[in-house]
A and B are shown apart, each in its own frame.
Chain A
């Protein structure tokens, strides 16, 4: 049945719930496009046959046309939904993605991510006075400037505003400026402790 490959792509993406990004299926996409090309060529042949009097073929042409549109829709939806997921990664992870995720992206998607990063950075510099405003900071309203954090894994040295460095070792506890460590908490390196 035509369209199965393209729907397979959509199905796999749909199954990966919660914004998870599955590997890019370049081969599946190529096969779906190949199928579309074949459908188009057969339709061209049948159109010329229908022009010379075989009107009973019109339905068949219409059927193939439906399949073409369906494949187009599946592929566009697949690519678009992946972009939505990649955009979400920028907000969840920050501007540098872990390697495991980068391996799941196609070259074009990496390119898109870099451009998105750039436009976001340009925008954030343009608002909020001279220094700009980091929109990814303070997703939840801050109550204090400093917060108590515990380190969940060995991270290494970490420099804070006043120039001192702290060693983030597993299970060590620190009292750090909130804006410095919010990103690390979101990345799962630190854990926010409420007193």
Chain B
């Protein structure tokens, strides 16, 4: 990772960070919903039906991205109701409480924690259980992530990382960086001036461009 570039980090809990690329992509994930009343001229915009004038009838199922669901959510007038994605539902919550380590969160997520926290914005009666499951899942998976990130030195980590959620990946990378820096220091290389990683990446790119 480049030393001088610090991207805007994702927000915590219920808050999204406005300028964070991670949060923008996270809020692009879709969740199932239902139209509670007839919505005129909206069919085309949501990708259902061909004509611009078509309306969405009451009770039809929709797939809407999180940002839209948040923007349209109104506790007083329920026009669109939001349902839980299946990974946050009761059945999956049981799986997580049985053994959270076996779940491939990247396939199911990849923003399991962030998206789950955002779901708490909608006044769902199951909110406390969702929050509890997310927290417990993180706790039970964290030990393993920390362990592997601190001990896999000079190894191919792609298999370890493949099943991790985006938040967990960031943690894993931070652990790996710490490990590498420490090993560097032990070997007495910490004072060596190295080429900037950004420069190294551009160098690689240049060579591949020449080949192509």
B38: chain A residues within 8 A (beta carbon): 56
Asked if A73 meets B193 with Cβ closer than 8 Å, knowing A63-B68, A92-B3, the reply is no
Asked if A92 meets B198 with Cβ closer than 8 Å, knowing A1-B46, A63-B72, A69-B71, the reply is yes
Select one of A3, A13, A70, A98 contacting B21, CB under 8 A: A13
**Are B201 and A76 in contact, CB atoms less than 8 angstroms apart?**
no
| Nearest CB on A from B10, distance (A) | 11
**Are A92 and B47 in contact, CB atoms less than 8 angstroms apart?**
no
Contact with A along B39-74 (1 / 0, CB 8 A): 111100111000000000000000001011001100
Q: Is A120 an interface residue (CB 8 A)?
A: no
Q: How large is the interface on B (under 10, 10 to 19, 20 to 34, 35 or more residues)?
A: 35 or more
Q: Is A80 an interface residue (CB 8 A)?
A: yes
- Interface residue ranges of A146-195 to B (CB < 8 Å): 147, 182, 185-188, 191-192, 194
Q: Is A89 an interface residue (CB 8 A)?
A: yes
**Are A73 and B5 in contact, CB atoms less than 8 angstroms apart?**
no
Among the stretches A14-22, A26-34, A110-118, A125-133, the one at the interface with B is A14-22
Q: Is B194 an interface residue (CB 8 A)?
A: yes
The CA-CA distance from A2 to B41 in the complex, in Å, is: 14
In the assembled complex, 15 residue pairs joining A and B whose CB atoms fall closer than 8 Å, in A order, are: A3-B65, A10-B21, A18-B5, A19-B5, A60-B42, A66-B71, A74-B24, A77-B21, A90-B4, A92-B3, A100-B202, A140-B190, A186-B194, A194-B188, A194-B191
Given A59-B72, A92-B198, 17 more A-B residue pairs with CB atoms under 8 Å apart are A1-B47, A2-B45, A7-B28, A11-B25, A17-B1, A18-B2, A19-B4, A60-B39, A67-B45, A74-B24, A77-B24, A87-B4, A89-B4, A185-B193, A187-B196, A188-B195, A188-B196
